[in-house]
Chains A and B, each alone.
Chain A
């Protein structure tokens, strides 16, 4: 078990160190999310529109911007592995593929988390959303959704990384699988931004947590075959 966590932490440390040096993925992710949120704030007017649907629109825009930004970030992160033949190096080692996979998931989730902090701040400013009132709930929702997106994203980006059509293939593979998480994230975020609270969000959060567990376990088991050349 100690060796498992040593490998996991080594992958996280390596990925975050590479990202800290280049800031390629994070910069692009944050800029993209900011652009989408800013553009839609103009489209819907100050406060992100009015009426009953305003919170639903805000939640939808927020998670769509996060999802697309994540695709860009994943492509870059896996691009580093492809350029360095990191997948082969990992597969040639005796390291547990589950630890390698979970390490990658954690790295991607950390980058997404930083991007989401900026995204929620923009939501508070441009859309006048009261994110502080339900900060705890929004953190839980964001964490659950981020884990799901990182779990699926890491798996599918590793699958598509060594193909010629990887930029097209990644969203085509990833988006359909992420539909449950995205719906749950939007619905739960909408509930808390609208002040409905836990009663309306509890089941969506549970759905995301179950998805996370199922996907993390299943992907951990098949990651070895994805690393194989």
Chain B
């Protein structure tokens, strides 16, 4: 890592923005490392979660938003459970993803795409249509045959179906999405 000039590169507004949106106070973190100690995905992360918290404390906006770690986080909430300072770390990670998206700084395009496809399926069917989601994701991401070998196995067990199983009143679920999008537009 390069030398960080704390005088010049500390983005105080970013710290404020994350605290406000997540409702968590990053100053509470005393860097004990318990979040990293319990994190099941830390070996895939470019920065372990305790270092993400440290980067946040030092206002290193660009480093955080371009990190892979915030997208690889599975939101299992072990960090939140273990944190002795009662910080909802998973919520902070979620907030960081939201900000990264808003600022078009998504480092893991596929993961963002997966989220989008997932939500599109929810909007359309009122619940998850697994096969549709998977096909849309595979087509858009270019990984055409990703996880295709699992298909027959789960199909056999009746876990997924070829046709969507729409819920009653799925228009109401769709309305939730529209309402949210309108609200988001209003607040910029």
A and B from one assembly? no
List chain A positions with a Cβ less than 8 A from chain B: none
